[in-house]
Amino acid sequence: MLSHTIGGMILPPDHPDAPKYWSNETGPELRPAMMLYLTGRALTDRQLQSIKAYVAQWVNSSVRSRADLEHAIDLAVELGMDPL
C-alpha cells in the first residue's frame, strides 16, 4: 500500500492530503484534462495548469520509489509520450 508523509506522519492513500491517481479523481477538471492530453487533443491554459499541479503533487511527494518512477516512465513511453 502506498502512503504519504507530512511532517513525519504517514498518511493512508485515502487521506485528503495524500496524492491521488488522476484516473480516480472525481473532480471536474483533472480527469477530463488528462483524457484530452492522452488523446493528443488541445488543452486550455486551465487544463494544463491542472495537469501541472497534479504532476507537481507527485514529484514533491514521498510516495514514489524508484520502481514507481520507472513504471510511470514505461507507461508514458508506451503511450507515445516523452516523460523526460
The pLDDT tens digits of the residues spanning 21-70 come to 788 888 889 999 999 999 999 999 999 999 988 888 777 766 566 777 78
Which set of grid coordinates corresponds to residue 41? 487533443
Q: Which residue has the higher pLDDT, 12 or 57?
A: 57
pLDDT value, residue 13: 67
Which set of grid coordinates corresponds to residue 62? 514521498
| Total length of the chain | 84
pLDDT value, residue 77: 85
CB neighbourhood size of 21 (10 A): 10
Longest dimension (CA), the chain: 40
pLDDT value, residue 41: 94
Rounded to an integer, what distance in angstroms lies between the CA atom of residue 53 and that of residue 57? Answer: 6
Domains of the chain, residue spans: 4-78
- Looking at the whole model, is its pTM more than 0.85? no
Packing angle between helix 30-38 and helix 45-59, nearest 10 degrees? 100
Give the model's confidence band at 73: pLDDT under 50 very low, under 70 low, under 90 confident, else very high: confident
